[in-house]
A and B are shown apart, each in its own frame.
Chain A
Amino acid sequence: DTGVSQNPRHKITKRGQNVTFRCDPISEHNRLYWYRQTLGQGPEFLTYFQNEAQLEKSRLLSDRFSAERPKGSFSTLEIQRTEQGDSAMYLCASTVSSGGPDTQYFGPGTRLTVL
């Protein structure tokens, strides 16, 4: 257990529905990342926050995806109008930016299945 928690762990939804995932990072970690992992592939970067500011978004983050970190603590990732291609593991990682090379610690992930 790295101290990063994600909820729910599994989500099954029908195509066209909206889903929201939550990530609780390690306390005092000011950076939070979201990744997506499809079967047989390594995780791919989606977006990251420093405190409450969203500083970078991948081209993978279509306009159906939105992420927030309102108070610089937990974060949510919402997918609107889900498609079957959104089926994947969604991973959250956190780290503290302290002036040296940092280490990202990952949560257990949320597995999304879109029917």
Chain B
Amino acid sequence: DAKTTQPTSMDCAEGRAANLPCNHSTISGNEYVYWYRQIHSQGPQYIIHGLKNNETNEMASLIITEDRKSSTLILPHATLRDTAVYYCIVRGWSYGGSQGNLIFGKGTKLSVKP
């Protein structure tokens, strides 16, 4: 089962920031938070991942709380093309170990409206 909880759906106005929350209260020390999104009928697209520090790339920012029990994905200026299902995934990793597969939940369906 997925180790994360996300709202089923959210709306956002075009041009505004989209803030997608994720709860992962049982996360352990070696587990990373990954975000993917899936636009209708396409394969999932990697967005960003982080361990405990906030991360930013050209697509989004990831804010992880100090206790690591929750995080927020921020799309700074949402466009209509950002309409998709967003998946928050907790995934373990260790040196010499196998990271294994991604466990997807149902994600958050983000609708960006004009």
Residues in A lying within 8 Å of B, measured CB to CB: 2, 4, 33, 35, 40-45, 48, 55-56, 58, 91, 93, 97, 99-109, 111
- What residues of A have a CB within 8 angstroms of the CB of B91 in the complex? 101
Can you show 15 pairs from A to B with CB atoms below 8 A apart? A2-B43, A43-B104, A45-B101, A45-B102, A45-B103, A48-B100, A55-B98, A91-B43, A101-B93, A102-B93, A102-B99, A103-B34, A106-B43, A106-B45, A108-B43
- What residues of B have a CB within 8 angstroms of the CB of A100 in the complex? 93
Given A43-B102, A44-B104: A104 in contact with B46 (beta carbons within 8 A): yes
Residue of A nearest to B98 (CB): A55
> In whole Å, how far is A80's beta carbon from the nearest beta carbon of chain B?
23
Rounded to whole angstroms, the CA-CA distance of A1 and B88 in the bound complex is 21
> Are A103 and B104 touching (Cβ within 8 A)?
no
Q: Which of A44, A93, A101, A107 sits near B32, CB closer than 8 Å?
A: A101
B77 in the interface (beta carbon within 8 A): no
**Number of A-B contacts defined by CB within 8 Å:** 63
Rounded to whole angstroms, the CA-CA distance of A102 and B97 in the bound complex is 12
The secondary structure that dominates the A interface is: loop
- What residues of B have a CB within 8 angstroms of the CB of A103 in the complex? 34, 46, 49
Most chain A CB inside 10 Å of its own CB: which residue of B32, B36, B49, B87: B36
> Are B93 and A109 touching (Cβ within 8 A)?
no
B21 in the interface (beta carbon within 8 A): no
> In whole Å, how far is B103's beta carbon from the nearest beta carbon of chain A?
7
> Are B106 and A104 touching (Cβ within 8 A)?
no
Residue of B nearest to A102 (CB): B99
